[in-house]
Amino acid sequence: MSIDDLARLRQEIEHERRARKDAEQQFEEKIRELTLANQLLQRHVDTVPCIVVALDSEGCISMVNRAGCALLGQPESALLGQAWFERCLPQPSGKSLMFPLFRQLVAGDGQAGERLAEYPIIDGNGQPRLMAWHTGLLTDPTGKIVGTLSSGEDITEHKLAEAAIAESRQLLLKIIDTVPARVFWKDTELRFLGCNTAFARDGGMQHRDDVIGKDDYQMAWAAQADLYRADDRAVMASGVARLGFEEQQTTASGETVWLRTSKVPLINDDNETFGVLGIYDDITEYRRIEDDNRVHLAELTALNTLLIEAQNQMLRSVKMASVGQLAAGVAREINIPFAFITSNLLALKEHLRDLLDVLAAYQKAEPALAGHADLLTAIGRAKSAANLEFLQQDVPNLITESLDGVNRARTIVETLKDFSRVDTAEWSLASLEKGLESTLNLLWNEIKHKASIKKEYGEVPEIECLAPQLNQVFLNLLANAVQAIDERGVITLRTGFDEQTVWVEVSDTGRGIAPENLDRVFEPFFTTKPFGKGTGLGLSLAQNIVQRHHGQLEARSKIGKGTVFRVTLPRSRPVDTDDS
């Protein structure tokens, strides 16, 4: 080898040495850069509050951050290289359940990653902590999968809270389902957020979850939806509860029921209304019972009024009987005094007429005493002192009025006796016109201030009847006629007959009866009089008496013109008439 060859070889060796040295320096620089990058990565990973762990393709720990070490209760040096799924996860069956899924993941099965999204680990205290995982694959420069990098968030408390909330919700729903009332709640768009089972079934749904998201138009009561929604909006707009109001509802069976409903606005912590809560009870049966009770009360009231009226009628009968007995006794006792008073007054009237004739004769003779001035003066003084002219006119009038008074007293006693007729409370022949006159005499003091009486009697024949009861009919008709006249009017009494019947009419010029009330005037308890002014039983009782006589009681009327009541009775008593 020549010197030049040696020099050339030495140069090549030097060049190679320098190249190797440069390569070593570059490698060391790379190592320093990688180390720095790794330190920066580790520093960044350590700042992450959740666990970050890198696993190699065999599932062993190749990196774990500071939060992971703290959670696992082990230093990094103790964890590196450890089998993650066997060391850090619970093993309920003695072997890892997650490791096979990890092997599938690193083998390229993406679905296995979904199943590894949530699984527990054992913390430093030996307690399981449920973690939510986000896992990415680690690959080499050729794209080969060499491991995984995962971050995990502790969701144990969140899951416990969710479970507690779910349990509380289920408990609340069970409680709501046990109450007999229907409960529901809606959002501001009036869609159902929830309800109890009873409410769902009312709406035609099988389960309460079927109601969620629907509105009233999709329920069995769609016909009432507009009304319900208007109520809901009013409650939400006012922010004030509406309690205990009654409304109707159509159920899934097509039945219409009555509800007692309460609604309150749903308000959050920010005082914002986010819906409405409603609760209602079916009160259909309650209302039915209430209506039945109202009917029963009305029936009891009617019966009580009938009893009172019957009692009053009985008392009136007893009073009239007493009056009749008294009148009969008085009539017997005073007939003789009436007779001799009448006789004496008639005799006195005749004697007075004679005395007045004698006095007139003396007055004619006075001119003959013209020469006796003292006698004429004495006679004139006596005539002036006695007021002779007044006595000549007044004394006959006094006697006449006294006779009229005695006759009037006798008529009143006889009228009371005839009106009560307790001694003839059986069927007998009687004059209807005489009964009218008796009744008129009894009511005259009430009638004379409001009406004049016009009589158009047809001289009807007597009929067989219960005269006191018919007198009661005439009394009611005359009393009604007087009450129908507001100021001054006319009451007309008419009678007539034909071959089969006799009839009596009592008409007035009063205010009249409205057409819609005319057909009801004979109904028990119906009255157009103010409260407390009438029982509505007078005409009903009158009709019963007329029907007992196999007759008819009819009315016709014109507003502002007056009313006519007509009693028509058979001339002959029917053979099947009850004597009682």
Residue 566 clears pLDDT 60, i.e. is over it: yes
pTM greater than 0.95: no
The DSSP output letter for 437 is H
Highest averaged pLDDT of the listed ranges 240-249, 416-425, 515-524: 240-249
Q: How far apart are CA 97 and CA 161, in angstroms?
A: 26
Identify which of 433, 245, 414, 440 has the alpha carbon closest to the alpha carbon of residue 331: 414
Q: How many CB atoms lie within 10 A of CB 484?
A: 21
Give yes or no for residue 7 having a pLDDT over 50.
yes
Mean predicted confidence (pLDDT) in 499-524: 86
Kindly report the average pLDDT of the chain as a whole number.
82
Q: What whole-number distance in Å separates Cα of residue 286 and Cα of residue 292?
A: 10
Binning pLDDT at 50, 70 and 90, where does residue 364 land? confident
Q: How many CA atoms lie within 13 A of 262 on its CB side?
A: 8
Whole-number Å distance between alpha carbons of 26 and 83: 36
Tokens of 485: 């006249």
- Between these two residues, 92 and 206, which has the higher pLDDT value? 206
Q: Give how far Cα 141 sits from Cα of 59, 138, 275, Å.
A: 20, 10, 59
391-409 pLDDT, tens digit each: 777 788 888 888 877 777 7
> SS3 for 81?
coil
Give the whole-angstrom CA distance, residue 217 versus residue 459: 78
Rg (CA), the chain: 61
Within 13 Å, how many C-alpha atoms sit on residue 437's CB side? 14
Q: What distance in Å separates the CA atoms of residue 439 and residue 479, rounded to the nearest whole number?
A: 10
The residue assigned the tokens 């059986």 is 426
pLDDT above 90 as % of the chain: 28
> Model confidence at 1, in pLDDT bands (50, 70, 90)?
low
Pairing between β-strand 182-186 and β-strand 273-282 as defined by DSSP bridges: antiparallel
Confidence band, pLDDT 50/70/90 cuts, at residue 545 = confident
Q: Which residue type, as a one-letter code, is found at position 94?
A: G
Position 79, amino acid: L
For 169, counting Cβ atoms within 10 Å of its Cβ (0-12 exposed, 13-18 middle, 19+ buried), the class is exposed
Exposed e or buried b per residue across 318-331, where buried means at least 16 C-beta atoms within 10 angstroms of its C-beta: eebbebbeebbebe
Measured CA distances, 58 to 55, 101, 103, 141, 329 (Å): 7, 12, 8, 19, 138
Distance CA 266, CA 272 (A): 8
Comparing 116 with 422, which gets the higher pLDDT?
Answer: 116
Confidence band, pLDDT 50/70/90 cuts, at residue 33 = low
Helix, coil or strand: residue 228:
helix
Give the whole-angstrom CA distance, residue 385 versus residue 519. Answer: 71
Of 193-202, 226-235, 391-400, the range with the lowest mean pLDDT is 391-400
- 451-456 and 489-497 as β-strands: parallel, antiparallel, unpaired? parallel
pLDDT at site 35:
59
Alpha-carbon distance of 1 to 9, in angstroms, equals: 10
pLDDT at 23 (0 to 100): 73
Percent of the chain with pLDDT over 70: 85
Q: Which helix (H) or strand (E) holds 494?
A: strand 489-497
The region of weakest confidence among 39-48, 155-164, 446-455 is 39-48
- Say which residues have a Cβ less than 8 Å from residue 203's Cβ, sequence separation at least 6: 211, 219, 220, 221, 252
Mean pLDDT of the 536-563 span: 85
The three state secondary structure string of 258-301 is EEEEEEEEEECCCCCEEEEEEEEEECHHHHHHHHHHHHHHHHHH
Q: What value does the mean pLDDT take over residues 160-175?
A: 81
Which one-letter amino acid corresponds to residue 473?
V
d(CA 12, CA 383): 201
The DSSP output letter for 461 is: P
Q: For 73-84, how does the pLDDT look when each residue is reduced to its tens digit (9 = 90+)? A: 999 889 999 999
Do 564 and 506 contact (CB within 8 A), yes or no? yes
One-character DSSP codes across 45-71: HHH-SSEEEEEETTSBEEEE-HHHHHH
Pairing of strands 451-456, 463-465: unpaired
Could you give the CA distance from residue 275 to residue 239 in angstroms, rounded to a whole number? 10
pLDDT over threshold 90, residue 502: yes
Between residues 347 and 199, the one the model is more confident about: 199
CA distance readout (Å), 53 to 105, 135, 541: 16, 10, 107
Torsion of the alpha carbons at 311, 312, 315 and 320, rounded to the nearest 10 = -140
| Per-residue model confidence (pLDDT) at position 423 | 44
Whether the predicted pLDDT of 560 surpasses 60: yes
Report the C-alpha gap between 354 and 348 in whole angstroms: 10
Q: What is the mean pLDDT of residues 348-354?
A: 79
Tell me the mean pLDDT in the region 505-510: 93
- pLDDT band, residue 468 (cuts 50/70/90): confident
| AA letter at 101 | L
* Helical residues (DSSP H) of 366-465, grouped into ranges: 373-386, 388-420, 432-447
Query: What's the confidence (pLDDT) of residue 463?
Result: 92
Residue 189 pLDDT exceeds 70 = yes
Mean pLDDT of 117-132: 90
Of 501, 417, 406, the C-alpha closest to 458 is 501
Q: Could you tell me which residue, 541 or 458, shows the higher pLDDT?
A: 458
The tokens for 5 are 């060859």
In three-state secondary structure terms, 497 is: strand
